[in-house]
Amino acid sequence: MSACKENDEIQFGDTPSRVKEWLNCKLSENKQKVYVARGWCKRCGICVAFCPVKALERDEEGVPYVLNDICISCGTCEIICPDHAIVVSELKAKKVRKK
């Protein structure tokens, strides 16, 4: 797989194959427990409010980011995001391994 481009982001209207490429790239980086698609996030804050351990904070634009040391990879944020803009990397890896 080719190296991930820095600050690579998906946007509304991107093709499924483009989204898959972005996701695979993020998961292969394996740096964060949670990845947020900035172009899909509407900055509603629901994920931040529902995280059971307060592992999500918001940047200056209101987009959430994870505090890796606190996140327990429970998956709540991924399930609850109305825009499918969050991926919990450990859960995604498990799903891929099962296939």
Name the residues that contact ligand SF4, by CB under 6 A: 33-34, 36, 41-47, 51, 53, 55-56, 64, 66, 71-77, 81, 83, 85-86, 88
Q: How far apart, in whole angstroms, are the C-alpha atoms of residue 95 and residue 57?
A: 26
**Which amino acid makes up residue 76?**
T
Residue 47 CB, nearest approach to ligand SF4 (Å): 3
Taking the complex as a whole, how short is the minimal distance between the CB of residue 6 and ligand SF4, in angstroms? 21
Q: Which residues of 67-87 are buried (b: 16+ CB within 10 A; e: fewer)?
A: eeeebebebbbbeebeeebbb
Q: Are 42 and 29 in contact (CB under 8 A)?
A: no
Nearer to ligand SF4, 2 or 23 (CB): 23
CB of 96 to ligand SF4, least distance (A): 17
